[in-house]
């Protein structure tokens, strides 16, 4: 989660998932949903805004299948 905050501070994009991190905090295994919730909180607390799936597809020039 420190990298989520660092990415926001530097103006980058954020992604999270169990392939990156298995723990919510030291010794506490996380679910993917918990990691996403934590990242959303960090982004919002730093004044950022999370994109919706549609906004993300548009930003990445992806079409919905």
Domain assignment present for residue 64? The answer is no
pLDDT on residue 15: 86
Residue 10, pLDDT > 70, answer yes
Tell me which residue range forms the domain holding 40: 2-59
Total structural domains within the chain: 1
Residue 65, domain member (yes or no) = no
Residue 45 within any structural domain of the chain: yes
Structural domain includes residue 29: yes
DSSP 8-45: HHTT------TTT-SEEETTEE--HHHHHHHHHHHHHH
For residues 33-38, give the mean pLDDT: 93
pTM (2 decimals)? 0.78
Cα 32 to Cα 42: distance, rounded to the nearest angstrom: 16
Cβ–Cβ < 8 Å for 30, 24: yes
Given this model, what pLDDT does residue 65 score?
63
Whether 40 has a pLDDT exceeding 90, the answer reads yes
C-alpha distances in angstroms, 52 versus 12, 49, 59?
A: 17, 10, 10
């Amino acid at each position: 989660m420190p990298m989520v905050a660092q990415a926001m501070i530097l103006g980058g994009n954020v992604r999270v998932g169990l392939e990156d991190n298995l723990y919510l905090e030291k010794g506490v295994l996380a679910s993917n949903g918990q990691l996403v919730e934590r990242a959303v909180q960090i982004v919002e607390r730093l004044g950022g805004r999370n994109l919706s799936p549609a906004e993300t597809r548009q930003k990445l020039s992806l079409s919905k299948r």
